[in-house]
Structure 1
Amino acid sequence: MHRVPLLLVATVALPLALAAGAGASAATLRTTLNTWSKQISADGRSVALAARRRHPRRMTYSADRFHRDALRARSAIAAQEPTTAKGRRARRLALTAYTYYSLAGSMWAASGRARLAHQRAASITYAEDGARYAKTGNRLLVAAGRLLR
């Protein structure tokens, strides 16, 4: 449960380095991905810290913010219009990644609420589901970043 948000932080921001010589729309998509990747990473650290310190209310709040930011990121990526085939594929992968991140945030928030309700088994199940969604989102976002190098 504790390793997943840290894994999220480590793998989300890593592959999204800027590359020179790309078209304007690919550069815009890359910049948008970088911006939202950093925001999601900060939100993931916040969820992980609250979980590690065993603050279920704070974790729930942070997970809700993670969820909202993932949806905002998805909207920002959806507004981009890449012109190259790689850019379109990267956009599609990023949209799917942020969908998985929003699901992860929902599961982590549900985990915190279950913990507050003293439903430990449900809390663990929700946390594991959130971890699975985050891991899938990580893989997809890394793939999108590689396409935009």
Structure 2
Amino acid sequence: MLRKHLERHDNEFVFTAEGGTWLWRSTFIRRVLKPAVNGNEHCPKSGVRAVPIRPGLTFHGLRHSHKTWLIAGGTPEIAQARRLGHHLPNRVTEVYSHVAPEVEIRLLNDLQRRWHEADLNVKAHPTAPEPSQRHVSGPLAA
């Protein structure tokens, strides 16, 4: 999907400014990420209307989701660490463990499968469901 997106324009960056240059992080967050996750239905001058995907979602939240999917997919800890740019506490494991190509392929196939399932789910249910009410119980509820 990324290749198809990049084929649509003639520059090397995924998200670009009007001139094809890369976006500053703050500009990307303000113009792309926040309208996508929070929606822009409250902005009357917006040319494209977007319903909220997940209000308040951040890049850090996406990293947490990514780690969760890697764990769910059975990805070895060393492959998770390499993918997320983390270091393992055990230096011996860090130095002597490597991610075999077949592990990387399985990891990518699992993430691709998850992406396609999510895409099919969005197409089957184009209107985002209302968030469920969360009830806190126990000592934190007070």
**TM-score above 0.5, yes or no:** no
Which one has more relative contact order, counting CA pairs under 8 Å at least 6 apart?
1
More helix by share: 1
Q: TM-score, normalised to structure 2's length?
A: 0.32
Point out the structure with max Rg over C-alpha. 2
